[in-house]
Structure 1
Amino acid sequence: MKISLELLQILDAIDRHGSFTAAAAALHRVPSALSHAVSKLESDLDVQLFIREGRRATLNEAGRTLLEDGRHLLRAAGELERRVRRIATGWEAELRIAIDSIVPVERIYPLLDAFYAAGHSTQIRLSQEVLGGTWDALATDRADLAIAAPGDMPPRSGISSRLLCTRTDFVFAIAPHHPLASVPEPIPNSEVRRHRAIVIADTSQELRARSVGLLDGQDILRVPNMPAKAAAQVAGLGIGYLPRWLAEPELATGHLVEKQLAERRQPMPLHIAWRSRQIGRALAWFLDALENPAYLGPLTVGL
């Protein structure tokens, strides 16, 4: 067989990192080894897979098709390895936890401390996702457990969920020098629509991207995370809601002011969600711990 999992991993790394050099660093290989492997594959298949422009390498249509289908094989192989490990020992070699950006990552550190103190050896990998990206991480096998997945669960098999909380404690915050700050309250949507909204880009890779609180026709500035959103609003670049835990320090210093809108944003449910096929002992430990008020309570403060 001309196409191996190793070659698919190489193609995936080049696509994600944009060059053979960066991909080689990520894979702990030398660039010449990757270049040779790709050239041999192109020769064996008698097709060109990349458009090469200087140091950058971009997949052409044939290469993109190969990689998109190949990623399904990579995910299946990874899941097979993890399943064999779970069957052999009951404990996962690695547990991947995706946390929605609405929750500060450090809030789950006491949970991790308790897990390590119990002597468990499963490696933990944390990642942050935004909106639908938290569900997408489960659906595309980037995560085993998701914390604060927002909104409705997508229609995908193999995922279970339970309610974490319904977030309501959001502040519509703007810089005091922003034009909207002088508009009488409550501010109507017709006025809000005239001003740029600061939003965090949804991190979905396969599921449809979601958005929250945007009005039709409203200009948008997309930023990568919650601190960047708060900073953009402090700078007067736009407007939007912030979780109270993030807004309060800026409100206290006067860098932001809270305004009341005529139409309040609807509460959104946040969930604990997980991949439910063959639950390992580490995932089961976290699911049990996340029912303990001592760990659950601090997660939801200011949401």
Structure 2
Amino acid sequence: MLDQEMIRTFIQVADCQSFTKAAEMLHKTSAAISYRIKTLEENIGTQLFNRTTRTVTLTPAGEYLLEKCRQWIVWLESMPIELQQMNAGVEHQVNIVINNLLYDRTAVASMLACLHQRFPSTQFHITRQVYMGVWDALINEDYHFAIGVTGNESLKNNINICAMGEIQWQFVVAPNHPLANVSGVLSDDQMRIYSAVNVEDTSRHLSKRTAWRLSGQHEIKVPDLHTKLACHLKGVGIGFLPLSLCKPLIDSGQLIAKEVKNRRHNSPLSLAWCEDKKVPLSAIWLICSDKGIPVCNLFTIP
């Protein structure tokens, strides 16, 4: 009923709104094209075109069929590539989780552009998580690759890792915050009376961790790094920010850098991927290799 030639004929008539023009495009006679469409309508049992002396227009059923036919053509044309990639061990879908500290829309778009060019039939799903949520997605969810797991050691034997670098932290307060005018190194007792602003750990199966909070200190939890930054700028709370994020704001006077007695240590981050999940080796090469997409350059850790 609907072979590939019939589908292409139907699409051409719908696009041209004319049997004559469609016949010219397909190098057929108008009578042959008209007969094909008439046969299609009889087989389906419903009218697909409204015919006038000059043009033909789609009925509601015809519009629906046109949408489906376009999808079928795309599917038919992409099928050889998909089959070749299946035999090459390329997964139909690859899920990538990115640490909230490294998430950058431009970097994600650049990575996806390169991956899509190399693996046109693979669907890529990107999400971002916080702290142990990155490990959790890789270990307990259906994620194949992680950008920015915490630490330089794998939590499971079947997960490979590659060090990316370390996040440097800076304690900051707003210029109007009471601690801004306190001289010298801040003690825990001086900081404890003010709220700590933290991005909430998104882990669902692994134990959640708190980035920085003193014993007995009130805590404000926010969903992402940029909300945390906004809180610091408004003087809502105190805490540490990535140096690369807050340095321009310190230089411009929008934030004040303070020395504290117990500094937050640097946070090492790594790339990680599962051995027992079908991640295309060439995709890993593209993401990790200096000759492919050097992720460490896209998702910058100064």
Normalising by structure 1, report the TM-score.
Answer: 0.64
Q: 1:185 to 1:86 in 2, by over 3 A?
A: farther
Query: Match for residue 146 of structure 2?
Result: 146
Aligned residues: 217
What letter corresponds to residue 125 of structure 1 in structure 2? H
Taking the aligned partners of 1:102 and 1:260, their CA distance within structure 2 comes to: 22
State the 1:102 CA deviation: 0.6
Taking the aligned partners of 2:162 and 2:300, their CA distance within structure 1 comes to: 18
Q: Does 1:108 pair with 2:108?
A: yes
Q: 1:261 to 1:300 in 2, by over 3 A?
A: farther
Residues 164, 301 of structure 2: 8 Å contact kept: no
Q: 1:131 to 1:153 in 2, by over 3 A?
A: farther
- The percent of aligned pairs where both chains have the same amino acid is 27
Query: Partner of 1:146: helix, strand, or coil?
Result: strand
Taking the aligned partners of 1:94 and 1:119, their CA distance within structure 2 comes to: 10
Residues 86, 280 of structure 1: 8 Å contact kept: no
- Greater C-alpha Rg: 2
Unaligned runs of 5+ in 1: 1-84
Unaligned runs of 5+ in 2: 1-83
What letter corresponds to residue 238 of structure 2 in structure 1? I
Taking the aligned partners of 1:268 and 1:127, their CA distance within structure 2 comes to: 21
What letter corresponds to residue 286 of structure 1 in structure 2? I
Q: 1:186 to 1:197 in 2, by over 3 A?
A: same
Residues 104, 299 of structure 2: 8 Å contact kept: no
Q: Does 1:166 pair with 2:147?
A: no
Normalising by structure 2, report the TM-score.
Answer: 0.65
Taking the aligned partners of 2:277 and 2:258, their CA distance within structure 1 comes to: 48
Q: 1:231 to 1:153 in 2, by over 3 A?
A: same
Taking the aligned partners of 2:294 and 2:247, their CA distance within structure 1 comes to: 23
Taking the aligned partners of 2:119 and 2:138, their CA distance within structure 1 comes to: 26
Residues 99, 105 of structure 1: 8 Å contact kept: no
Residues 135, 153 of structure 1: 8 Å contact kept: no
Residues 171, 244 of structure 1: 8 Å contact kept: yes
Query: Partner of 2:98: helix, strand, or coil?
Result: strand
Taking the aligned partners of 1:301 and 1:207, their CA distance within structure 2 comes to: 27
Query: Match for residue 284 of structure 2?
Result: 286
Query: Partner of 2:114: helix, strand, or coil?
Result: helix
Residues 159, 275 of structure 1: 8 Å contact kept: yes
Residues 151, 269 of structure 2: 8 Å contact kept: yes
Residues 166, 268 of structure 1: 8 Å contact kept: yes
Taking the aligned partners of 1:90 and 1:179, their CA distance within structure 2 comes to: 59
What letter corresponds to residue 109 of structure 1 in structure 2? A
Taking the aligned partners of 2:299 and 2:258, their CA distance within structure 1 comes to: 23
